[in-house]
Structure 1
Amino acid sequence: MTITRRKVLKSLAGAAAVAAAAPLSSFAKGSDDIVIGSLHDLSGGLDILGKPMQDAMQLAVQEINDAGGLLGKKVSIVTMDPQSNMQLYAQYAQQMALKDKVTALFGGITSASREVIRPVMKRFNALYFYNTQYEGGVCDRNTFCTGQTPAQNVDKLVPYVTKRWGKKIYILAADYNYGHITTDWIKKYAGQVDATVIGADFFPLDVNQFGPTIQKIQAAKPDMVISVLVGGAHMAFYRQWAAAGMNKKIPMASTTFNNGNEHIVLSKDESDGIVTAFSYFESINSPINKGFVDRWHKKYGADYPYIGELAAATYQGVHLWAMGVKKAGSLDRMKMIQALETGISFDGPSGKVTIDPVTHHCVLDIQIAECKDKKWKILESYKQQKPVDTAAVCNLSKTPNENKQFVIKI
């Protein structure tokens, strides 16, 4: 799997491995530049997710600079590779805030990494953008979340697949807060359509052997499997599932499949038929998305494997930040926050994306799609879905000094 993954990902621009403390950037930093930080895994087990996010930042900043920059200045990126290591996330976030003086930091993939970065950015007064789908509940005026929460995508996925395949669900999930809390959301939405979760197993991010679990699923005889697996090691499950012939017997949905270009790395047989729900798929048929895809391939090459959800969310996050700077007319942190809280919208590749002032999350379009021949066929679309799960626990208009991640009662 490692060799195949490397062959696929070697065409991803900005994907070079880095020395532990060395900043990288395609945008040389001038003394008068507006500096933003990129803290994404470019090596380690989550590099299949982090590299496209870094590429998305570079494209967005290039577009901003080509359009004249911000406030009469160019934007430059300081990039560091935390190597999927929480200690390095903390070290580099502090370095970016104190030494590099970043105006805003874009980074983090897992919720654990977010919760390392977030307090550092708040303490040192630098804006933080988290551009990954997650379990919801972050309530922090200094943080903006551009990815989906369960009320936006899981809420649509579970009713669709249970109507199509049946009422008995078996879940496989990553063994950290995203996996556990998303599993609880699946159970909630399953209950609303009279479906049942008959089994749930959790796996650390470095696990790559799933034989006993596949035997358990065979014995349980569910109507479907829902995968909440994350990262390169967990990709082995899909191979072992297909090798056991289970992909011909039990259908599969996922809240995560596609984030790491799994459908490109795996064979057609291993990925065909998997159904998922995201805000962005490269196959969205709109002029804005077609232009985005064309610009991406012009920059990174026609052989770039696939532009996925995390790349689009990061690209849109950078542009939303830039719109906030323009509206504020200033790099003052509070002025930028207040500008972003006016309900700024960006017409991006995923559709219209609007910052919700109350939660600092985004209102997004959601698509349900099925993998076929290494491409995604969009089956259903849901316009302008609100982050109602986080809105149930977070109101920054009333409590602007809130600073925590709530565990939403499910």
Structure 2
Amino acid sequence: MSVRTIPVGVLFSQSGSYSEIGREAYWGARLAIDEVNASGRFGFTLERVESDPAGLAENYACQADRMMRQEGCQHIVGTQTSSSRKEVLPVLERGRGLLWYATPYEGFESHDRVVYTGACPNQGVVPLFRHVVPKFGGNAFLLGSNYIWGWETNRIARELLADCGGHVLGERYIAIGDENIAHLISEIREKKPDFILNNLIGVSSYAFLRAMKDLAREDASFGPGRCPILSCNLTEAELPVLGAAAEGLISTSTYFETLETAENRAFLMQMRGLRDPDRAISSMFVGPYEAVWLLARAIEACGSADPSEVLEQICSRPHQTPIRQIRIDRSTHHAHLQPLIARVETSPDATTPRFRITETLPGPLAPDPYLVDYAPLGTDTRPNAGREDSNDRLPPLLRLVSS
């Protein structure tokens, strides 16, 4: 008996200025499709239809259109930047397809043709500021690549700092791929912030981190113990490129390789036979990997690849991936996720730095992409509400409400 084949688009930039994370995302989706097909448990196989937009926003729409019109893809796993995601939305609307978007992003969007499995602001930048501001202070310097992710994440950061009585000492943007950052270093040296929020991506971020490492060698007050660099999107995928330049960076994510769970240990053992053992597994790999498994289980459960039926199924109940159970919120199509805070550290027995998880926040947190659902002063809907802790002492916008 023949097995039904379902084409699935895999749309990630394996070349271009942010290719390090693009290749990780591509391999996460590719290996998950291979595993689904090899499992023998599904009454269908997934056919990978791939394309490389080379990090150019204008390439995404035409390549997504080709996937849907010519290759018959009703589902696309892909896009990483918010610019690229927004480029494909009209294509999805015309073709009535579904995008599986697995990257942390700036929020303030909920689209009926997108399943968002990456962190939104209350699962990313808010927990990060909650962790850092009480320890280092509220005077920040904000950086971003000149597109939606940088603009919107820094806008949220400004609001969080105002709520804390902090200040923005500087806010600067450079083009994606620009490595000319000497003027940024000069201004940071002059302003002396308590911390820096780095929303640069790809080679721009790498150039900045290397330059800050040089500055810290000249002046210890810019070292990570005094003026840490924060990130909502830098992962293990980029640490081999950065080496010691990343040491001390504080990042938030909903997955780090060092996550201590039985499921993650089994997952890492399984990946060791498929990946370079010296290359860490990152959230950029895990996000698309989990998205493919969620898609496969939803198709299996509803018996159809029709996007409307798949979306109804994926929102109706939690679904298990090889790493964890994931629940998609019906009203926003975003995932319930548990935020983690980690610091880049080196060890004598490793050639590449690794993230060490320093805080696991209560969760999974319900997604709140528009940042409207926070506990008012004096209330807390979490277990043990009423017990004074660091959450109680924070202003309302920095409080966390678990699902």
Q: Give 1:170 deviation, angstroms.
A: 0.8
Amino acid at match of 1:365: Q
Consecutive unaligned residues in structure 1, runs of 5 or more: 1-29, 394-410
Amino acid at match of 1:169: A
Tell me, in whole angstroms, the C-alpha distance in 1 between the residues paired with 2:143 and 2:215: 16
Within the candidate set 326, 341, 356, 2:329 is matched to 356
Q: Flag the 1:225–1:155 CA change in 2: closer, same or farther, 3 A.
A: same
Maintained 8 Å contact 1:358/1:391: no
Kindly provide the CA deviation profile for residues 238-260 of structure 1, in whole angstroms up to 9, marking residues without a partner as x: 11111222683232232345337
Kindly provide the CA deviation profile for residues 246-304 of structure 1, in whole angstroms up to 9, marking residues without a partner as x: 68323223234533733221232x2111111100100001111112222222112313x
The answer to whether structure 1 residue 338 and structure 2 residue 312 are counterparts is yes
Q: Flag the 1:276–1:113 CA change in 2: closer, same or farther, 3 A.
A: same
Q: Flag the 1:194–1:348 CA change in 2: closer, same or farther, 3 A.
A: farther
1:97-136, aligned counterparts within 5 Å?
97-136=68-107
Residue 57 of structure 2 corresponds to 86
Q: Give 1:191 deviation, angstroms.
A: 2.5
Amino acid at match of 2:365: Q
Within the candidate set 25, 28, 44, 1:56 is matched to 28
Kindly provide the CA deviation profile for residues 142-197 of structure 1, in whole angstroms up to 9, marking residues without a partner as x: 21011111111111111211111122111111111110110011112222332222
Residue 140 of structure 1 corresponds to 111
Within the candidate set 358, 364, 369, 2:342 is matched to 369
Within the candidate set 260, 263, 280, 1:306 is matched to 280
Point out the more displaced range, 127-136 or 245-254. 245-254
Residue 10 of structure 2 corresponds to 38
Kindly provide the CA deviation profile for residues 329-356 of structure 1, in whole angstroms up to 9, marking residues without a partner as x: 112222112111203333553x442111
Amino acid at match of 1:363: H
Q: Give 1:357 deviation, angstroms.
A: 0.8
Residue 40 of structure 2 corresponds to 68
Tell me, in whole angstroms, the C-alpha distance in 1 between the residues paired with 2:321 and 2:220: 40
Amino acid at match of 1:77: R
Maintained 8 Å contact 1:352/1:364: no
Tell me, in whole angstroms, the C-alpha distance in 1 between the residues paired with 2:28 and 2:201: 20
Residue 365 of structure 2 corresponds to 385
What is the aligned length?
Answer: 362
Maintained 8 Å contact 2:7/2:73: yes
Kindly provide the CA deviation profile for residues 22-45 of structure 1, in whole angstroms up to 9, marking residues without a partner as x: xxxxxxxx9941110101001111
Residue 254 of structure 2 corresponds to 279
Q: Flag the 1:326–1:142 CA change in 2: closer, same or farther, 3 A.
A: same
The answer to whether structure 1 residue 261 and structure 2 residue 237 are counterparts is yes
1:122-201, aligned counterparts within 5 Å?
122-201=93-172
Tell me, in whole angstroms, the C-alpha distance in 1 between the residues paired with 2:325 and 2:305: 25
Tell me, in whole angstroms, the C-alpha distance in 2 between the residues paired with 1:260 and 1:111: 21
Consecutive unaligned residues in structure 2, runs of 5 or more: 347-352, 374-403
Maintained 8 Å contact 1:170/1:199: yes
Q: Flag the 1:391–1:160 CA change in 2: closer, same or farther, 3 A.
A: closer
Q: Give 1:319 deviation, angstroms.
A: 1.1
Maintained 8 Å contact 1:324/1:344: no
Within the candidate set 206, 212, 217, 2:188 is matched to 217
Maintained 8 Å contact 2:294/2:319: yes
SS of alignment partner, residue 48 of structure 1: helix
Kindly provide the CA deviation profile for residues 57-95 of structure 1, in whole angstroms up to 9, marking residues without a partner as x: 12211221222253x221121111111122321111011
TM-score calculated relative to the size of structure 1: 0.83
Within the candidate set 254, 265, 281, 1:290 is matched to 265
Tell me, in whole angstroms, the C-alpha distance in 2 between the residues paired with 1:146 and 1:136: 12
Tell me, in whole angstroms, the C-alpha distance in 1 between the residues paired with 2:141 and 2:342: 20
SS of alignment partner, residue 105 of structure 1: strand
Q: Give 1:391 deviation, angstroms.
A: 7.4
TM-score calculated relative to the size of structure 2: 0.85
Q: Flag the 1:277–1:321 CA change in 2: closer, same or farther, 3 A.
A: same
SS of alignment partner, residue 122 of structure 2: coil
For the aligned residues, what is the CA RMSD?
A: 2.2
Maintained 8 Å contact 1:110/1:178: yes
Amino acid at match of 1:361: H
Tell me, in whole angstroms, the C-alpha distance in 2 between the residues paired with 1:392 and 1:55: 35
Q: Give 1:137 deviation, angstroms.
A: 2.2
SS of alignment partner, residue 123 of structure 2: coil
The answer to whether structure 1 residue 205 and structure 2 residue 176 are counterparts is yes
Tell me, in whole angstroms, the C-alpha distance in 1 between the residues paired with 2:320 and 2:167: 38
The answer to whether structure 1 residue 248 and structure 2 residue 224 are counterparts is no
Amino acid at match of 1:193: C
SS of alignment partner, residue 273 of structure 2: helix
Maintained 8 Å contact 2:24/2:237: no
Amino acid at match of 2:367: P
Maintained 8 Å contact 1:343/1:356: no
